[in-house]
Structure 1
């Protein structure tokens, strides 16, 4: 009789918050929250005891816990600090696969044969992780998703009892783990709640036909999970030959930015081969060889087929963990060979194809083109704008290199009194050019100390050209950084409509009038 393929999952609670506290060298008693897009995505147990919850706005979380330490989400930091934990698990039980930083799985069969039982194996792995200064919980079940949910409850689910274990859990548990749920899973859970389906068991009681016809593709995967079945049915598709890609690094890679840049180009090459073979990758080995002959390898698993961008992210996280992490097996020399090898594939129909073919939509094609240009000019040569907080259009834009996390330097949801009213300019001047604004008798129009115009604008001159002014709005004075003698400035902005339907955003300061933006 064939032995069931049991899965063991190890989950480190609140890992983004734990990693942020470790990076900042904060004591374990510090309440900490990790935010992304101004909302809490993870928090420590101390913060939760003060009322902080995932999904709260940063300002509300700080109101509930005034001493809260807030940090921005950083997937690279999470992966880098998780690598020593993965290395410790791998040393005791080879074959570990990373679902995301803070969550790993491995086949329970080999671990049980080595340690004697699932209970003893779980205790030993918890001890190995604790030796790195991290707490974890272990769950074992017949299926991957059930094992992950079991790990959140430190439960060892008996053989064949997965559906029974899941039945009383809230249906929201199907969306609680991002490594196993598609982005639209939360919408499915919300819909099920409104339909009166509150537990996983109630959802599992629906027929597969009803689920597929009423809720869509992701709901089918969630329904299989609710019934204790694999998210995807068994596939007879083998891995086509010659899909692995390899890059020989000369000079050897020793810096994370250079290694991540090479990994991004390698990810694009891998997905070109996958697309040609008509498959998509769900499990990927990231391997490297150093100049001293050290062999490094780590397996990453994803619930959804990997896109080029997702593959590049995992390669960057892994290289960051190897090159800058605190693991005992940190390489003693630069990386000379970088290799990506798919170990599990599905049909490419699992990926959404763009209108013109290939993976993704037109935005994805544009991103690929930018990555190719980046390969010619360097990592920081191609940047994209991220909308952040501020009063003027230029100061609201944060430029980040393509492929890096789009995090603004300031909070876009802060009050920002004096912020420019909508609509925003279609084009923003990086270096605002000077202009002259005159009244109907040719005298310069200025902004007085009381924030009023010294005259009625009638004519605008920009370089050698000029236009009659047929309308304006403002001025809106802003007194910024008045407490800082170096950064303090008092400016006023105004929207000006010129003859010929041209509209400008102009700003008046100590050096006169300048153009900040142009409206369509």
Structure 2
């Protein structure tokens, strides 16, 4: 949503970037706020001005839908900035310039954009000023060859150059027409190249052609099943040609797909959708396997359509084989993919390391070919984390243990993080119960590393301490004590 779209109608709002007005709404302009004005000057002219920070990412995302809608009517739109674009439209196709503008306005109103203003002129600058003077959902057409006359009576502030405007006003030049009557050579000598460019604007001359953005290619591949099918194998067989065309069309643009969204329709409505990632890039067989897995995880009913939508595409050159080839990597990927096809998508996992305090917290697993979500950053400090080296064997569930002092008293960690007595003996349970496990003298130990996690939540808070304990037989363990009870979390092999 635009920064100016979160306030009641009639509220003067201005978007600021680096202390300067980047955009303002009509109530703010009515009070004298202009683009390029300093924040102090804008607030002095409009004391009730609501200040909004510039959010270019959200503006661009919101404006992208508008650009796509306009491109459906007239390909080759040129975005100037979020909220402003230019295009050359075939007026004869719609019956005239005003009629063409009306079609565009109607399309944008259907999207919920009510304040649509359009201008038609010989150049970009004059067309923008015409759009600013047009009424909402209307167009102002400047006849051919009359841009200079249209601009002549506009205030000099229209140039959107505060320093030059201030100087021109002190010279007594208050309109664009007065500025346009100056000699072009004198303006260039006095104000430089930028001043000369603004002088051309004031004269109705626009040297900048429209730089149209390229219409992105349609790379989505779709399969329609008539009649609908309710078995996985026939659907996968029918999809082969579509998957091959999907890969071929991407290759024609020098692209490969590394993340694809698969949508499955059931009874003409979306029944299943999921995004899949690939460790390298998708081939036709890979796409068919993902459709199989998605349908096997939950068949939405009878399937009457499948769509392959590329969410992330990358240049083919980034994934091409090097000078020495890439056959070993290819064999590994193909082998793992075959195993995954036999045992299922969740049956083959890739392992990585993430941030955390305990070894179990730092272990990260995800299905092969997918990027794990909600990964904890490894570069953070993580107070209380066990120092290197990391244990080789991490138990799925901690096993019971017991650590005692010289006189057989349990070793306890106090509230200040100290032990009541040094550990002398310990025993850990394995297959046998803890009571029957043999005692092992302690050769050395380190710790404690106390941690109080989620202390603000009484239901989930934990207060624990970890130790590294080495027995006289050379076995080394990572142990944890919580509420007076000991457990083994991992073993150093």
TM-score range, shorter chain: 0.3 to 0.5
Structure index of larger Rg: 2
| TM-score w.r.t. length of structure 1 | 0.40
| TM-score w.r.t. length of structure 2 | 0.41
Q: Which has the higher contact order (CA 8 A, sep 6+)?
A: 1
